[in-house]
Amino acid sequence: MRNEDRDSARRKLDKELRHYRLAAMQRNCTQDLLRAVRQALGVPVEEIARTLGVNRSVPLELEQSEGRGTISLNSMERVASAMGCKFVYAIVPLAAKTLERMGEERKWSKRLGVGKAGKRE
């Protein structure tokens, strides 16, 4: 990918991911999201289980799995769909940085020969 294309892609992604970056600044922003959405919508566990064609305990197990960080993306999508929602996820830079800023930092680090520890290589 050419540098101009890469810069353009970063700017576009930064714009699209803005709300995700803001959410990521919150502590535990997505922890227990399935349970929170289910309760906010008032969707009974039995309804989700029926929609998924599984035992009543499965949605509860999936909520626990999400809390532990061991749930699969496929399972998140299926449960979200059973609640009439769409599952989306994002990858955002740490410390509320933008992709554009991170790209610039990487570019300058390479030019100056500075490694991740901040020392010249």
What pLDDT is stored for residue 42 in this prediction? 96
Q: Is residue 84 part of a domain?
A: yes
Residue 67 lies in a domain: yes
Residue 96 contacts residue 25 (beta carbons within 8 Å):
yes
Please, what is the average pLDDT of the chain? 88
CB 67 within 8 A of CB 32: yes
40 domain-assigned? yes
In a 3-state reduction of DSSP, which class is residue 59?
A: helix
Residue 68 maps to a domain: yes
Per the structure, the complete domain to which residue 87 belongs is given by 18-91
Tens of pLDDT, residues 48-83: 999 999 999 999 999 999 989 899 999 999 999 999
Q: What is the pTM of this model?
A: 0.71
User: Which tens digit of pLDDT belongs to each residue from 85-115?
Assistant: 999 988 888 877 888 888 888 888 888 886 6
Looking from the CA of 90 toward its CB, the CA atoms found within 13 Å total: 18
pLDDT for residue 73: 96
User: Does residue 58 belong to any structural domain of this protein?
Assistant: yes
Q: What is the mean pLDDT of residues 33-41?
A: 95
- Please indicate, yes or no, if residue 115 is contained in any of the structural domains: no
What is the phi-psi region of residue 94: left when phi exceeds 0, alpha when psi lies from -120 to 50, beta otherwise?
Answer: beta
Q: How confident is the model at residue 35 (pLDDT cuts 50, 70, 90)?
A: very high
1 falls within a domain: no
Question: Residue 119: pLDDT above 90?
Answer: no
Q: Please state the domain count of the chain.
A: 1
